[in-house]
Amino acid sequence: MIKLTNIDKYLDKKFQRTYILKDINLELEQGEFASIMGPSGAGKSTLLNILGFLDDANSGEYHFFDEPVHNLSEKQKSQYHKSHIGFVFQAYHLIDELTVYENIEMPLLYRKVKGSERKGMVAEILDRFNIVAKKDLFPHQLSGGQQQLVGVARALIGSPKLILADEPTGNLHSDQATEIMELFQKLNKEEGVTIVQVTHSEKMASYGNRIIKMKDGMLLENFPHMAD
């Protein structure tokens, strides 16, 4: 499903090139639940952003379903955002001015789903996440865990093939975190959604079936000698 070949990401400053990602080679199969782990500054979020087309690599190739992402136009990328990829953020990133219902509905608006169908889809997911009662509240009226539920619901409503989650439980206490992780596990097992999450926590990583360790912009599986 995903194939990264020799991906580099760097910043050029005067006479020095600082690598954020170096020579990343990574393949992910459909149905995997991978956790990217590593110390701060290892390049985890950057890698996730590149996976989600939110950022471009400086060199290397990225194939998504055999499509060369490095050659895609903005328009094609946003097509993929609409239909294939869902994002979950550590800071939830809900739109403050919209209610829970409207936040969840928004991806459908960009996909030009018809009104009646849209209502049905939002109602179903509200029900599935047990947040029907909250649908008319604004984000600031919810707890962090509830906000993240809405964030996940929003990511899922487009039935994406891939969910990218950047420390989805980073701002949550452990009960809430467990809830979100069990949800991810269920989605992965029952619906076959591919999930890639960035996390610091071994416990959260254990919900997945693959751990990708990073250090100094490199994947440890590519450079086994770096492991300590």
Partner 1 sequence: MFKNYLKIAFRNLIKNKVYSSINILGLAAGIACFILIGLYISFEFSFDNYHENSDSIYRVVATSDRDDNYDGVAKVTAPWGESALLNIPEVEAVTRFVFHGTSLMRYENNRFFEGNGFFADSSVLEMFTFPLLEGDPKTALDSPNSIVIDEDFAARFFGDENPMGKTITVSEETEYTVTGILANIPDNSHFTFDFLVSLTSYSHPDIDDWIVWNQFYTYLKLRDGANSKEVEIKMEQILDTNLPEDYTRNYEATLQPLTSIHLTSNLWREITLNSDKSTLLVYGVVGLFVLLLACINFINLMTARATTRLKEVGIRKTIGAQRGALIRQFLGESVLTVFISLAFALLIVDLILPGFVALANSSFDISLMLQPLNIGVILGIAFFISLMSGVYPAFVLSSPKPSAILKGVQKIQGNVSLRKGLVVFQFTASVALICSTLVMQKQFDYMQNKKLGFDKEQILTIPIRDFSINPRYEAIKDRFTSIPGVRDVSFSGNMPGGSDWGIPYSAEGIDEEDEPSFRVLAVDHDFLDVYGMNIAEGRGFSTEYSTDTQGSFLINQEAARQLGWEGEAIGKLMSIDIDPNVLPMQDKPVVGVVEDFHFRSMKETIAPVYFFIPPPNWFANISVKIESGRTDEVLDGLENAWAEFDPVHPITVSFFDEQYGRLHQVEENAGQLISYLTIVAIIIACLGLFGLVAFSAQQRTKEIGIRKVLGSSVQGIVALLSKEYLLLVLIGFFVGLPLSYYWISSWLNQFAYQTTVGIEVYLFTLGITILIAVLAVLYQALKAALINPVESLKSE
Binding site for partner 1 (CB under 8 A): 45, 49, 52, 54-56, 74-75, 78-83, 87, 89, 93-98, 102, 105-107, 109-112, 154, 158
Query: Min. distance of Cβ 123 from partner 1 in angstroms?
Result: 17
Q: What length does the chain have?
A: 228
User: Which pairs from 14-23 meet CB under 8 Å and 24+ separation?
Assistant: 19/216, 19/217, 20/46, 20/217, 21/46, 21/47, 21/50, 21/57, 21/217, 21/218, 22/216, 22/217, 22/218, 23/60, 23/218, 23/222
- Pick 98 or 211: Cβ nearer partner 1: 98
Query: Min. distance of Cβ 51 from partner 1 in angstroms?
Result: 11
- Pick 91 or 226: Cβ nearer partner 1: 91
- Pick 147 or 220: Cβ nearer partner 1: 147
Tokens standing for residue 160: 């994406």
Query: Min. distance of Cβ 178 from partner 1 in angstroms?
Result: 25
Query: Min. distance of Cβ 58 from partner 1 in angstroms?
Result: 13
DSSP annotation string for 73-125: -HHHHHHHHHHTEEEEETT----TTS-HHHHHHHHHHHTT--HHHHHHHHHHH
- Pick 10 or 209: Cβ nearer partner 1: 10
Query: Min. distance of Cβ 161 from partner 1 in angstroms?
Result: 14
- Pick 9 or 207: Cβ nearer partner 1: 9
